[in-house]
Amino acid sequence: MTLLDIVDRVRRREKTLTLFNLPPGSSLDTRLASFFRDQNLRVEVDDTSAAAPCFATLTDGETLYTAVDASDLFDLLDGPDAGPDDLGVDDSAHAALLAPLKETTFTSYDRDDMMAVTREIEDRAFRTGSGTLSAGFQRLSNFDDQTDVYRRLATTDLDLHVFGQPDGHTAVDGVTVHGLDTEEIRRTWFVVFDGGGRPELKSALLAVERGAGAFYGTWSYDPTVVDEVTEHLLTHTDHVAP
């Protein structure tokens, strides 16, 4: 299992949100499609009995994850509250629907998009102040533009690791650099935070470059995905760059 395999597997997990008995003229389906536009989710419309109220099911092949009333979907669209310590969001009221969707997939992120997600995960790690943060910027020379950020991160108790193809880099105290000249390291951009002992804070960005500066992949809060990426990277931590 490689980082490339993990991206491909996550992207194959498409789920379907089916809206039943949608009232004529309702825009709920298009609003939900926009709300979940970056996730590996398809929104469909169907009917049951004409007298039945509007509801929705979340499915994946033969698996039914949940069924929810339309009112719950409107509440979701109104926006979730902030999570504990303002980290992430409090989605407990919609856990049955959102828990199976703890992944965001994307097909056309550019470097600005990638950096925005990277900063969000780095900031989450900084505010937590402990745990392991691992980042791969394809080539180690790309790390030179991130040194100020990682000097700030190094003021905490975080265990910091940076991966990339060896081509020269600036050393930062408190950051362990791993030089690896492999296809998966050259092609992937990743930032992974193990949550610092708090599973609800685990997060990972894992993307593959498809063309010059264009990336596709996953932005996931699924602890299983985060742990899998973290464990894979641990197999390479003996490659320490000088």
In order, the DSSP letters of the chain are: --HHHHHHHHHT--EEEEEESPPTT--HHHHHHHHTTTSSEEEEEE---TTSPPEEEEEETTEEEEEEEHHHHHHHHT-PEE-GGG-SEE-GGGHHHHGGG-EEEEEEE-HHHHHHHHHHHHHHHHHH--SEEEEEEEEGGGGGGGHHHHHHHTTSS-EEEEEEE-S-----TTEEEEE---HHHHHEEEEEE-GGG-GGG-EEEEEEE-STT-EEEEEE--HHHHHHHHHHHHTTTT----
If 0-12 CB within 10 Å is exposed, 13-18 middle and 19+ buried, where does residue 87 land?
Answer: middle
In whole angstroms, how far apart are CA 115 and each of 4, 132, 192, 213? Answer: 20, 19, 13, 12
Q: What angle do CA 31, 75, 220 make, to 5 degrees?
A: 70
* pLDDT at residue 147 in the model: 94
Amino acid letter, 184: E
* pLDDT at residue 172 in the model: 93
Which residue shows structure tokens 């690896």? 180
Report long-range pairs for 144-153 (Cβ below 8 Å, ≥24 apart): 144/169, 144/170, 147/172, 149/119, 149/122, 150/174, 150/175, 152/126, 153/122, 153/125, 153/126
* pLDDT at residue 242 in the model: 61
Q: Which two tokens stand for residue 19?
A: 């809206």
* pLDDT at residue 82 in the model: 44
Mean pLDDT of the chain: 87
* pLDDT at residue 81 in the model: 52
Percent residues over pLDDT 70 in the chain: 93
Half-sphere exposure of 43 toward its Cβ, with a 13 Å CA cutoff?
17
- Domains in the chain, CATH or no CATH each: 7-101 (3.40.30), 103-234 (3.30.870.10)
* pLDDT at residue 212 in the model: 79
Q: What pLDDT, in 10s, does the model give residues 82-112?
A: 444 443 445 677 888 888 877 777 767 888 9
Q: What pLDDT, in 10s, does the model give residues 151-173?
A: 999 999 999 999 999 998 888 99
pTM recorded for the entire structure: 0.75
Q: pLDDT band for 220, please (50, 70, 90 cuts).
A: confident
